[in-house]
Amino acid sequence: MNRYSSYPNPAGDRLIEPDISLASADFIGVAWAGLLTFSCNFHYSMTWLTLCIRWAVLLLCNVFGFLFNQRKEDCLFAPLIFKFQQTMVGFHSDHIHGNKYNGNDNKFSPGRVERLVRGRERRRSTRESNLNDSPDRINNNHVATESFEHEPRLREDTNGSYVERFLEGAAAARALPLSNGCKTEDGKPFKQRLLVVANRLPVSAVRKGEDSWSLEISAGGLVSALLGVKEFEARWIGWAGVNVPDDIGQKALTKALAEKRCIPVFLDEEIVHQYYNGYCNNILWPLFHYLGLPQEDRLATTRTFQSQFEAYQKANQMFADVVTKHYKEGDVVWCHDYHLMFLPQCLKNYNSKMKVGWFLHTPFPSSEIHRTLPSRSELLHAVLAADLVGFHTYDYARHFVSACTRILGLEGTPEGVEDQGKLTRVTAFPIGIDSERFRGALDLPEVQGHIKEFQERFKGRKIMLGVDRLDMIKGIPQKLLAFEKFLEENEYWRDKVVLLQIAVPTRTDVPEYQKLTSQVHEIVGRINGRFGTLTAVPIHHLDRSLEFHKLCALYAVTDVALVTSLRDGMNLVSYEFVACQENKKGVLILSEFAGAAQSLGAGAILVNPWNITQVAASIAKALNMPSAEREKRHRHNFHHVKTHTAQEWAETFVSELNDTVVEAQLRTKQVPPRLPTKTAIERYRQSTNRLIILGFNGTLTEPVERKGDQYKELEPTVHPELKQPLTKLCSDPKTTVVVLSGSGRTVLDENFKEFDVWLAAENGMFLNPLKGEWMTTIPELLQNMEWVGSVKHVFEYFTERTPRSHFEEREASLVWNYRHADVEFGRLQAKDMLQHLSTGSISNASLEVFQGSRSIEVRAAGVTKGAAIDRILGEIVHSKSMTIPIDCVLSIGHFLAKDEDIYAFFEPELPCVGVGLPRGKVTDAAGVKFPVERISTLKISASKNGAKSFQNKGQRPLSNSEKKASNHHICPPQRPATTEKISWNVLDLKKENYFSCAVGRTQTNARYTLGSSDDVIAFFKELADAS
């Protein structure tokens, strides 16, 4: 009897739960877990001792299970071990990581890494089980693995049964049981659908009649990768490579492709010319490979760029239409390569909950290269709509994140790119090959025959091999020149080595490629003429692909493989060579500009293909390398190729995509919902005395791109569509509007002089009631401003050192802004400034330093919007001679975390606020009016920035009984008895009548959120129309 039952969790992993029938053993586990929990909570100092005890007992339980020769799930101590694991995870979450997302302390919720590791082990177990139960996968019909899409076929395939088995046998694969036991409600094995969307389908269609088609199979690395993935039901969506203008032909082709589990996207000739031949091949592909266009082509491209870009967007939308037509809830959509960079955005516009991943099979250039593209921002934003973005290497991922930060101004994190709280995970997934197919093919009689043929043909000579497309990025001329230099410097090897170069022609109609072909032929002829004889030549050049079996045999007899790519996404030729070298143990010379160098660099000789002298010396080193070193180098690379297969690559990507969605859902639970505008308007209409508190920058200003016009940001102006709704709201006698901003008095006067609003400048330090005179709310702070000069000198110094940064000197604070400076340099400068401020001459002053997204602000301690609002509220009540309590509050702004204490101020569920109001005002000697101090029973909690709580001077803390009794009651101020005082309820605020809303922020203490100032204006228009 199985002691465990299993069930899938939301991430798709299988959790093991002890069967309740084992009552006694389960009781032991519960008792021990309870004992350890008690010991942990008994005293904090026992925490690490408890941790050690847990690990020790867990180790003993596993040892006992091993001694009894039992698997974990069959071990007598399994329930105890399971309880330990739950307790241990809970311990780490509560005492180390804070249990951020798990609201239920008793619920076991594994972390992201743990889920991924568990899924990886489960996939390995499944794969091993399938290999043991299935016949040998290697047969005579296998074709070679190739990189996807941008790598053309390098071999002549005798037939396509290998791919046929994947395409036509997918239905049979669905009947295979999964090792994890996941089943649907009807008892059938559950398989997640995987929609693979690529520019081209893995088949080529040839029309035979009006309603008949012949399908020719074309293999690629992606097909090979998904062949071994048993956990997903894959369907392919892409262009069939042929123009089908009539409905009859489209229906017939769709029906024929359906048998291959393929779904066509029909593109007309004009779209293909503009989208594929134009934008993809003439713009994106050269750009991503660091290739510059000739001047005449660059000018021609500039003239036709817009039309090509529009065709690119249109083609991506056509792909999206087909995907959405066949999409079912729960499907995973995997978009591939630079042809479909707009597809993630199109899909998310259709369904924001769709699981979308995007993978690039080419290099991604540095931000300095990418920023030359006119459509740079649009492409980046479109890709960021995906949940997971994958690249072959960390370098490419780093370049992408850098482009997003430098071009879009977004925040780059170790996990990816964050925009308005939405995280797009960016990481590296190096693709591999199916090494078992290559290794198994070497045992086939046909391959063995070719091996003997090659050995006899080149007997007595070392064999060097190059397998490439005849393309500018492959570095074939550089390879030939390096070989020529090697022969010049090593006379001994001239008749003892031969270079076999297979160069597959591609894009033969393009003049640049025709010129490259002629150049290669010229170099080959010159070298053979210089160093060849009547019976032998040093270079054998082949301008065509090679059949799979011959290629495997050629790999097996090669002594040195030479890969000199000038820029390559991955280059799987190096993988194929290593897979076939188990006996020969040849040497791999690999370009450092190929993506494979990140994976095979430990065993290969890395070279700079532009350095002809270095490559020639590496050839000599490889040919003279001792056997012991060759074996050691081969062992490193062979282990990587054997373990990092194409199947593992595909499974890992889809697994991480599923987990990324789970993480996003957990993170979303912590994000406040969007402001319910209809509910807010209805509550607003039903109220009798309303208070609207608004921020300025980012709330009422015109939106400015983060890397846009810096002048607009230096001179913030009111949103052009704000005038009509705000004027109407201010004219309502039941409504009081307060603009509470960190900006200075002059800025607020210039922007709101025509509106009947209350203005609170510099976070409430100064107050102007309805076009009146400015007054100081906290005058005592202005009397101690000696620190301004020291801070100003620091800000001036860093402004001079940081281009495109600036600082703003206000009356009670200083702000240094590096929003438009270089992202990395600005961040380093800000770090340096913070360190200086914390240790310099002002470190002991009564100041607070705040770091915004890309700014640093220094102000007097205790100055926050929440600390000032009670004084502002008292002045409003007195000035307007209010007799009706405020029963509806809207607080909307884009505030720093420090200033979000204003949201907590009006929360009805928090302690109450008592306000003391005098009949008259008090004026200081300078003639500046300011309200007298009131008693505030609300203490504002410290913010995330470490801000201190604010409390008025001279007031005593109230007891809990006094707090409960006051309940928003106006209490007499601590003033001389001669001043007349009144007491009444200022706030009669119910929970459903309070709407706090953060603009452009998702990590907030507000109840609700709005995306931008445009959303705020739209809400005000509805509110004004309804009032």
**Does 920 have pLDDT greater than 50?**
no
Predicted confidence band of residue 500 (pLDDT cuts 50, 70, 90): very high
pTM exceeds 0.75: no
Range from 540-544, 620-624, 711-715, 767-771 carrying the lowest mean pLDDT: 711-715
- Which is higher by pLDDT, 62 or 927? 62
**Does 873 have pLDDT greater than 70?**
yes
Q: What is the mean pLDDT of residues 719-729?
A: 91
Report H helices in 823-912.
823-839, 865-879, 901-905
Q: 235 φ, ψ to 5°? A: -130, 140
Q: Give residue for tokens 């409003």.
A: 876
Q: 813 φ, ψ to 5°? A: -160, 165
User: What is the rounded average pLDDT for all residues in the chain?
Assistant: 77
Q: What is the mean pLDDT of residues 48-71?
A: 47
Q: What pLDDT, on the 0 to 100 scale, is given for residue 294? A: 59
CA distances from 808 to 540, 730, 817 (A): 70, 30, 8
- Which is higher by pLDDT, 830 or 819? 830
**Residue 203, SS3?**
strand
**Residue 302: which of 365, 373, 369 has the closest Cα?**
373
The C-alpha atoms of residue 291 and residue 510 are separated, in whole angstroms, by 15
Q: What pLDDT, on the 0 to 100 scale, is given for residue 703? A: 74
**Does 51 have pLDDT greater than 60?**
no
What are the pLDDT digits (tens) for 389-423?
A: 999 999 999 999 999 998 988 888 889 998 877 89
Q: Specify the DSSP class assigned to residue 275.
A: I
Q: What pLDDT, on the 0 to 100 scale, is given for residue 233? A: 86
Predicted confidence band of residue 716 (pLDDT cuts 50, 70, 90): confident
What are 812's two structure tokens? 């009670």
Q: Compute how many other C-beta atoms are within 10 angstroms of the C-beta atom of residue 428.
A: 16
The C-alpha atoms of residue 226 and residue 236 are separated, in whole angstroms, by 11
**Residue 359: which of 262, 265, 433, 426 has the closest Cα?**
426
Q: What DSSP element (H or E) covers 929?
A: strand 929-930
Q: What pLDDT, on the 0 to 100 scale, is given for residue 85? A: 42
Predicted confidence band of residue 940 (pLDDT cuts 50, 70, 90): very low
What are the pLDDT digits (tens) for 784-808?
A: 788 888 899 999 999 999 998 999 8
Whats the size of the chain, residue-wise? 1027
Q: Which residues of 843-853 are buried (b: 16+ CB within 10 A; e: fewer)?
A: eebebbbbbbe
Q: What pLDDT, on the 0 to 100 scale, is given for residue 603? A: 93
What DSSP string runs through 131-168? Answer: HHHS-----TT------SSSS---S--S--HHHHHHHH
Count each helix (H run) and each strand (E run) in the chain, helices first.
36, 35
Range from 169-178, 211-220, 566-575 carrying the lowest mean pLDDT: 169-178
- Which is higher by pLDDT, 487 or 964? 487
Predicted confidence band of residue 1002 (pLDDT cuts 50, 70, 90): confident
Q: What pLDDT, on the 0 to 100 scale, is given for residue 148? A: 38
What are the pLDDT digits (tens) for 225-271?
A: 666 566 788 899 999 989 999 999 999 999 999 988 899 999 999 99
Q: Residue 495: which region, alpha, beta or left (left: phi > 0; alpha: psi -120 to 50)?
A: alpha
Q: Report the percent of the chain where pLDDT is more than 90.
A: 47
Q: Are 613 and 596 in contact (CB under 8 A)?
A: no
Q: What pLDDT, on the 0 to 100 scale, is given for residue 69? A: 40
Q: Specify the DSSP class assigned to residue 594.
A: B
Range from 4-18, 349-363, 589-603, 865-879 carrying the lowest mean pLDDT: 4-18
Q: 742 φ, ψ to 5°? A: -85, -10
Q: Are 440 and 447 in contact (CB under 8 A)?
A: no
Q: Are 569 and 362 in contact (CB under 8 A)?
A: yes
Strand partners, 5: 17
